[in-house]
Amino acid sequence: MRCPYCQDYESRVIDSRSSEDGCTIRRRRECSTCKRRFTTYERVEERPLLVVKNGGEREQFNREKILKGISKACEKRPVSLEDMETVVADIERELRDNFDREVSSKVIGEKIMDKLQTLDEVAYVRFASVYRQFGDLNSFIKTIEQLKNK
């Protein structure tokens, strides 16, 4: 494994832990050259899953893109990175279990919103405002009212 700091290929594993869902192994490594530590994740290589965008174009599923969107919504909120990664892992597992080759970006967006609603209400509203492209204050208020009624 290449060190992200000095680019050397020699490192040793200090600690290995399985994730809660059992699908990922987290490894703490130490570079043999610069002695700095870094974390790697190992997971089974999955069959390709394509995301069908609104315009019809297709792109490969990218879990980092989902994590980035969730992180942005949870910015300055009391949500840990571990919680966000758990949400992403749950979404990815659901998608791979329920869709064979292709999934609509709308399905992914709705799954993210469902998970964020239980994780953090402010993050949910932030994500919804971008995802649903609120055009005015009334659509924003309507979403907040729906959240309050649940």
Q: Is the pLDDT of residue 135 over 70?
A: no
Tokens (6 digits) for 102 = 């292709």
Q: Is the pLDDT of residue 125 over 80?
A: yes
Q: Quick one: how far is CA 48 from the chain centroid?
A: 17
pLDDT (tens digit per residue) in 80-99:
999 999 999 999 999 989 99
Q: What residue ranges do the domains of the chain occupy?
A: 1-45, 48-149
What would the DSSP string read from start to end of 123-144?
Answer: HHHHHHHHHTT--SHHHHHHHH
Across-strand partners of 148? none
Name every residue whose Cβ is closer than 8 Å to that of residue 115 and which is 6 or more positions away in sequence: 87, 90, 91
User: pTM for this one?
Assistant: 0.63
Q: What angle do CA 52, 92, 44 make, to 5 degrees?
A: 115
Q: Is the pLDDT of residue 47 over 80?
A: no
Q: Is the pLDDT of residue 48 over 70?
A: yes
**pLDDT, averaged across the chain:** 89
Q: What is the pLDDT of residue 22?
A: 79
